[in-house]
Amino acid sequence: MALLIALLMIVGAFGTEWSVKYNQQKICALKGSTVFMNGTFTHPKRLTVKETFWTIDPVPGVEPTDLSKDPDYSGSVKFFTDKQKHFSLKLSDVMKKDEHQFCFRIKTNEENIRWTGIPGVQLRVTELLVEAPEKVTDGQTADLTCKTTCSLIDPTFIWYKNGRPLTTKTINNNQLHLQTVSSEDAGSYSCAVEGSQHLRSTAHSLRVRYPPKNVSVSISPSGEIVEGISVTLTCSSDANPPEKIYTWFKRSASIGEGKTYSIPNIRSEDSGEYTCQSLNDLGERRSTALQINVLYPPKSVSVYISPSGEIVEGSSVTLTCSSDGNPPVKIYTWFKVSTPVGEGKTYNIPNIRSFAGRQHHRLIRYRIA
C-alpha cells in the first residue's frame, strides 16, 4: 500500500515529464510470425534510467516480471533501447498463448520511482481459415474467403490450389471468386498473406458435383475378335457423385445394365455398334460408339449352276460358289472329284460333254486372306 501511495505521489509530481508512447497499441499477428512492438519514452531529467524491460499484464501493486526472465519467453523475446529513448520488443514465433497486454517498464536510480507504460500493446494472434462451401454444383459460382479473428494491417492475400499459387482467378481482398464452376475447380485450397507465405491456412477441400463426362467403352481382349471367344465391354466415366446406373445399347436397342457387359461366346451376329450410358443424380451421358467386327471362317457354303434345269450336251455351264466369311473369302478352289480344276468364285464349262454330266463338281477347299 505504501508503494502504491508513493507511486501516486510520483505520478502527481512528475506526470507531465513521464511518457511512454507506443507506435501501435493493438497488433493482430499471424500465428508463427514475428512481431515488433516499438515506441518512445521520456522521464524527469533529475532521474537516471537504470533498467528497462518489457512485461505482460501488469497488476497494480505487484512488481512486474521481466519478460526476458520468464521461462515461457526467455528464448523468444529480445529488447532494444537506444540513447534517443526509442525502445522495441521482438517476439518470435507468436502463439495463441501470447495474447497479452505488453508494457514497457522503466526503473530509475531512485528505488521507489519506476514507471510502466499503461495501457500497453494489446496483442492478438490469429490463424488463417478458408471458409467455403463443402460442395458446389457444376455451373454455379463459389466464393472462398480467407478469414482471420482479428484485423491484419493492409494484408495482400495469396491463394493456392493443390499447393500452387492461383494467378488466373478473381481475387477481391480476402475473397477468391470462382465464376461458372466446373469439375476442374475441385481441389485443395489454402490462403496466405504476402510476406508470410510460409504461414498458410489449413487446406480446404472443395468438391464439385457434376454429371457424367468422358464416357467411353473399352473391350477385352483387344485386337481382332474371333468368333467363339468370350468378350467383355467395360464402361468408364467421370462423375460426382459417382455413377448410379450404366445402361448398354447395341445401336439404339437397350441390351443390359452394369459397368461391364459380357458376350461369352461371340458370334457373327454380335457384330455392330455398342455404346454405354452413364447416369448419376445430376444427369446422364452416352459414350461414343465402339464397333465390334467379329471374324469367322467361311460358312453357309453352296454351289449354284447356270443355267438351271436340264443341261444339254454342248451348252455352256457356269458354276458359282457362294459363302459367308469375315474377312471375305479371298481364294476359291474348284475340284472335280478330288482333282483341282480351277480357281475363282465361278467355274465355266464352255462345251459340256455327256461324261461331264455324270461327274459331280464340288467345292471342297477355301483359303481366307
Write down the domain spans for the chain: 2-125, 129-202, 211-292, 297-368
Fold held by 211-292: Immunoglobulin-like (2.60.40)
**C-alpha to C-alpha distance for 214 and 218, rounded to whole angstroms:** 13
In the chain, pLDDT over 90 holds for what percent of residues? 63
Q: What is the domain class of 297-368 according to CATH?
A: mainly beta
Q: How far is CA 344 from CA 98, 322, 333, in A?
A: 99, 11, 6
Q: Which CATH architecture has domain 129-202?
A: Sandwich (2.60)
pLDDT tens across 287-309, in order? 999 999 999 999 888 898 988 88
Gyration radius (Cα) of the chain, Å: 46
Locate cell 482471420: which residue? 148
Q: How far is CA 211 from CA 132, 178, 215, 247, 368, in A?
A: 22, 19, 11, 15, 47
Angle in degrees, CA 272, 223, 226, rounded to 5: 60
pLDDT tens across 40-76, in order? 999 998 888 899 999 999 998 888 899 999 988 888 9
> The pTM is what?
0.69
Same fold: 129-202 with 211-292 = yes
C-alpha cell, 283: 444427369
**CATH code of the region 2-125:** 2.60.40.10
